[in-house]
Amino acid sequence: ETGVTQTPRHLVMGMTNKKSLKCEQHLGHNAMYWYKQSAKKPLELMFVYNFKEQTENNSVPSRFSPECPNSSHLFLHLHTLQPEDSALYLCASSQEAEIHPLHFGNGTRLTVT
């Protein structure tokens, strides 16, 4: 149990589908993050929310849409994805943005067909 729970663990979707990834943290943290992890590449920061406000959007395509309804929950809405978007999507939380370390979930393995 990592304190950060992601669902689903695996997702296969077609390029025309719409799906959502969910993340929930039970650590009382105020910052939550979405990262993309591709094989043999550094973690890519996608979005940061601090006290429910989005503070980072690292030039992520609009086909990825984050939502943070409260400090404990984070969603990543997906639509019209491309095969190159296939990767492991990791959610993380920390006490506040810029205060580390990060606590990660086990990720969602996404395959776009």
Partner 1 sequence: GQNIDQPTEMTATEGAIVQINCTYQTSGFNGLFWYQQHAGEAPTFLSYNVLDGLEEKGRFSSFLSRSKGYSYLLLKELQMKDSASYLCAVKDSNYQLIWGAGTKLIIKP
Q: Under the rule (CB under 8 A), what is the footprint of partner 1?
A: 2, 4, 40-43, 45, 90, 98, 100-107, 109
Residue 4 or 78: the one with the smaller Cβ distance to partner 1 is: 4
Q: How far is CA 76 from the centre of its chain?
A: 6
The minimum distance between CB 32 and partner 1, in angstroms, equals 14
CA atoms within 13 A on the CB side of 86: 10
Residue 43 or 60: the one with the smaller Cβ distance to partner 1 is: 43
The minimum distance between CB 26 and partner 1, in angstroms, equals 14
Residue 23 or 112: the one with the smaller Cβ distance to partner 1 is: 23
Judge whether 29 and 71 are in contact, CB under 8 Å. yes
Q: Report the distance separating Cα 35 and Cα 89, nearest Å.
A: 6
Surface-to-core class of residue 60, CB atoms within 10 Å of its CB (0-12 exposed, 13-18 middle, 19+ buried): middle
The minimum distance between CB 72 and partner 1, in angstroms, equals 17
